[in-house]
Amino acid sequence: MEDAGYSIEFDENEIAIITIRGELNTYNTEDFKAKLHEILKKTHKIICDFSYLEFICSASVGVLINSLKEARQHGGNIVVFGIQERLKKLFEAIGFTKVFNIGYSLVDTFEEAKVQILGE
């Protein structure tokens, strides 16, 4: 099992772009939660790139949902893009796609995610 690796960038619109590689599992969920909490201190506009995410556990899904609630309370949003097909099916099965801007209307590219996060 490969733990998650992160890269975090901020663009000119104060959008945080977090790219997650590997696995979000029970062993690193607290680290993931800490990363999102750190980002939420700086901005409430977050784009998660899941293009390289191989696995996500239910605890990490919970972290995402709680972070989304916090972002929305402050007028922000979290948009997820690049979800691999097998993870998309999991997200649909647990109802995740009803909460996030993902699913068959999944934003496939960073440009689509940016439009959604800025509301353009």
Q: 5-118: what fold?
A: Transcription Regulator spoIIAA (3.30.750)
* Phi, psi dihedral angles at 42 (to 5 degrees): -100, -35
- The 10s digit of each residue's pLDDT in 50-87 is 889 998 888 998 899 899 999 999 999 888 888 888 88
Give the Cα separation of 20 and 64 in Å (integer).
13
CA atoms within a 13 Å half-sphere pointing along the CA-CB vector of 17: 14
Give the Cα separation of 35 and 14 in Å (integer).
16
**Residue ranges covered by each domain of the chain:** 5-118
Give the Cα separation of 89 and 79 in Å (integer).
17
Q: What predicted TM-score, i.e. pTM, was given to this entire model? A: 0.83
* Phi, psi dihedral angles at 58 (to 5 degrees): -65, -35
